[in-house]
Structure 1
Amino acid sequence: MTKNITAETLRGVPLPDPAGGSKEARGSALVIAGSVEVPGAAILAGTAALRAGAGKLQMSIAAGTAPHAALAVPEALVVRLPEGEGGHVDHRVAAEVLLPRTERAAAVLIGAGMASGEPTKALTAALLSGPSEAPFVLDAASIDGLRDHADAVRARAGRVVLTPHAGEMARCLGCERDAVEADPLAAARRAVEMLGAVVVMKGAETWIVEPGGEVWHYRGGGAGLATSGSGDVLAGIIVGLLARGTKPAEAAAWGVFLHGEAGRRLGEGCGPIGFLARELPGEVPGLMRDVAEGAI
């Protein structure tokens, strides 16, 4: 049975109640993202995590861009990661720095805006294989090499959420992009079978498949969400919801809805295309309120 993601559906799986809670109670999100060429990805994802209700935020980013990220998101603790060649972080040193932080985080995001290639794959594998019990969100470059590290993902017993678009899914599965676009739900199911993770198959329509085979479907959002940085925001919303204690599949469903409805609201205000990814997070708190109160 497929669950259509609507406000009514989500009222049946309410988010953890933050009333009266401290920032520690709402959890710390660790966002490992960005690169020398795309530092904004960490800013977008980190801001989205806070807008989704995470109590605290740590952003880990290449050292050369870390001061700029710290100024852009003054609410965050920013961890400088040593740089290697081509905008990559030095994955060996970065893993030593980040492994203890993953143990203290309530939820971890890896990959948004990071440089594609072996260093990102190696860092992702090292962190997935670490001792942290936190749920992980894997986005963009961190998804590419998962076929080689499927056991590390499966060992997390469903506490991993993948957020690929069609190209990333094709690289993960080792198939052609056209095959993914022809049947995105089948591609998501293949990835779930291989990895045992929650898979968010992004596209004009979004499919979410859980390790047990349950399927969620979202039709909304609009064409304006197909813009640079939009996926970073989605990944950030999901990690923020996970930090609050939301279950992985429910965090994925809520995240997809909040992201899509933020795009819809912006489209109504300024036009269906041309709004910016940085504008999406600001819509999220009001949407969470409106869902909870039955206003939408």
Structure 2
Amino acid sequence: MFPFLLIVLLSLSWRISASAQPAQEFLHCISLRFHNSSSFAKLVYTQHNSSYSSVLKSSAQNLRKHGLQVRTQSGGHDFEDLSYTTTYKVPFVVIDLVNLRSAQVNVEKATVWVESSATIGELYYEIAQKNNVIDARLIDVNGRILDKKSMGEDLFWAIRGGGGGSFGIVLVWKLKLVPVLANVTVFIVSKTLEQNATKLVHQWQYIAHKLPKEIHTSIIISRVNSSENEKMTVQASFTGIFLGSTDELVPLMEEKFPQLGIVKEDCFEMSWVESNLCTIC
């Protein structure tokens, strides 16, 4: 019963603008499937309940006493399945943040508050209409709701690099927006093991963070058929977005990362929104 209480609290109620409607719909759904639905109704708390805050905090704190682990699921994009499984097959509770997906853009201050389950498409759409993390709100292990100031610099530094689910439940991020040109340049350069991919990946780790802020790069590792001997090999695809033209990017990369050997044929100019579709695909 305790896990049920916690899931209801967390999945239905953690919205600043929560209304009674979702809770009523949930209770109606329960009534259609359980004979003792009235007892379940007593376990549902929203922000409209006077005891909501105290029940929420005690529920989060009591997990450890009951030997339950916590798994946080936001957008559901999890390469290692850590948001809905446990390594040692122990009981666990899933905190589902699926409904925390709004993005509030402040054009004048060039900032945006993004709730933790907003998908890439939703976030890009809001930003395109009107990144740097400058604030956040999270719930810590003691059930407290903290912002950058109250959590301290160490924890704020940790959640920006280690993932929100590792150090607390991040509810919303505040990002600093950057100006974007009408057109940007996307580049894709793929190298296999036979084409010295291992050395290039090693070099990239020492170069990428030193590139100008107008360039964002990443690497996608995949298994492909070798064009030389038709056997399976490993390929590293270096992708990036540059806030500028191809004519500016090529000489810049020749200076900063000449080993990659970028040429104009590797580059494609397009709008910023189109570039995100390109890199996702």
Higher alpha-carbon Rg: 2
- Between Structure 1 and Structure 2, the one with more strand by share is 2
TM-score category (smaller protein): under 0.3
TM-score normalised per structure 2: 0.23
TM-score (ref. length: structure 1) = 0.22
